[in-house]
Amino acid sequence: MVQSSSLRRDIISAYLASGAKIASWVIVSAIVFRKGGIAEFGMLALIRATIGLLQYASLGLGPAMVRMLAQATQQGQEPQQQQQTGPMPVLSYTTIEREPVRALYSTGFTFAVIASAIGLALLIPYTYWFHFSIEGGITSATMGIGLLLRLMSEAPGAVIQTHGRISRDNRFVLEAEIAWAVLTAGFVLWGEGIPSAAAGTCFMVASAVLLLRRKGEARAIAGRPHWRMDRPIVRQMLGLGALVTLAQLADYLYAPTDYILINHFWHDASQVAIYAPAVQIDAGLLLLVSGLAAVLFPRSAIAHAAGDVAVVKRYYIRGTLASAGILAAGAAAVWALSPFLFRLWLGNPMDATRAILPLVLIHTVIGGSAMVGRSVLLAAGKFRDFAMSVLLAGLINVVFSYVFVRYFQLGLAGIVYGTIIATVTRCVLWMPWYVMRSLREVREVPAEILETPMV
């Protein structure tokens, strides 16, 4: 009963955090659109879509730390498990020695600071690209710094999530998103200045608040981090994180590449303006299930480290079905309300966007329902296979999108058809088969070689 109550609390908090992410962007983008016009809105959307390249400076730090901390947690529980007459509940987060966790945290946070410094250096030429626009330069710089601050918060966030405080970590994210929306509204609606630049500056401030909140909570768990990196831990962390980074880079073979293809074929920014709102709706709907996937990742990692395949399998099946149901309901609601939503959001019915929206919603439901599968694969240590699947699917998207537009003259719909084919191939045909096969293998492998020994 305690486990069920804890899981419900974590999931509810994750949905609140996900909803806040949707709401904050809707509010901020609407304010910029109405106060700054379509040019500033388009610039903010472009910066937000491309500035995400800076997250690769972390080299998959967050997922790698969750995986490794789950191993450390399980090793700390093993002596207690041996003294019990019955099996220990897999997800009862017990107190373990602080030093292994502190060593992981110290290494991870120090690495995050160094990675952020490298990201800041990369931000300078990116910002220079917008030198022709003061608004673009300020917005890209502040949005970039805000993203780097969030990158630094991943290390303490991983400590919090693997020590039974997922709902608390989600509360910190919720507070940061609320702060971004409220501060932007205050500066733009009741102050003076450039709307997009104000939005970027407020995002930077909200991200700093998130970092401070997470650091304070992690300090109570693992102590103050040392400014040092343990080389064996770094090697293991990089080995896992590099594969996550490869998968993240492969994600740019989807919407960002689609933007490039649209610009290549039409040479008209108005076509990007038609496609961008549909993609933002897609991203917004995915946040509805990203919270569930985020909760199940650390829990599945701990369960897998304990060898409890039944728990992991239950998370995967129920989580996938729940995700599909949530997304199907959300997509239906968005489509039914789209005329009203576009007028409320952008002050325009966006008829051309609504023409391709059903196709976008199809791949949203299919792709989003596989997010739990992603969590399970990473929790099971299948970093390489997951990364390869995302990369191959991204290449399929590019090839088919190009062919549909270039040779079949399908217009913007052809771009979306390519994405649907890639999504079905990876999420419907490959992922269920591979996840279930991987979980069956756990039963066949001796427990002592299930995990790489923790340094």
- 156 contacts 60 by C-beta, under 8 angstroms: no
Residue with more model confidence, 12 or 418? 418
Closest C-alpha among 15, 99, 117 to residue 58: 117
**Position 362 pLDDT exceeds 90:** yes
Q: Lowest-pLDDT range, 224-228, 336-340, 442-446, 447-451?
A: 447-451
* Sequence-separated (6 or more) residues with CB below 8 Å from residue 333: none
Q: What percent of the chain has pLDDT over 90?
A: 36
What's the whole-number average pLDDT of the chain? 83
At 4 the pLDDT is 66
Cβ neighbour number for residue 208 with a 10 Å cutoff: 18
pLDDT in tens, 221-260: 888 888 877 888 888 888 888 888 888 778 778 887 888 8
pLDDT in tens, 111-169: 889 989 988 988 888 777 655 567 778 888 899 999 999 999 999 999 998 887 888 99
Residue 206 CA to residue 183 CA, distance in Å, equals 9
pLDDT in tens, 331-354: 999 999 999 989 988 888 889 999
**Position 93 pLDDT exceeds 50:** no
Alpha helices in 223-268 (DSSP H): 231-251, 255-266
Residue 380 CA to residue 297 CA, distance in Å, equals 10
Residue 444 CA to residue 455 CA, distance in Å, equals 25
At 406 the pLDDT is 92
Residue 135 CA to residue 102 CA, distance in Å, equals 42
pLDDT in tens, 249-297: 787 788 878 888 988 888 776 788 889 899 889 988 887 888 789 889 9
Boundaries of every domain in the chain: 1-248, 252-455
Residue 382 CA to residue 160 CA, distance in Å, equals 23
Residue 353 CA to residue 338 CA, distance in Å, equals 10
241: tokens are 């994180």
Put residue 136 in one of left, alpha, beta given phi > 0 → left and psi -120 to 50 → alpha.
alpha
Task: With cut-offs at 50, 70 and 90, classify the pLDDT of residue 92.
Answer: very low
At 73 the pLDDT is 65
Averaged over 313-318, what is the pLDDT? 94
Residue 183's identity, in one-letter code, is: L
Give per-residue burial for 211-244: e unless 16+ CB within 10 Å, then b: bebbbebbeebbeebeeebbeebbebbbebbebb
Alpha helices in 51-90 (DSSP H): 61-82
At 94 the pLDDT is 39
Averaged over 32-44, what is the pLDDT? 80
- 189 contacts 325 by C-beta, under 8 angstroms: no
**Position 90 pLDDT exceeds 60:** no
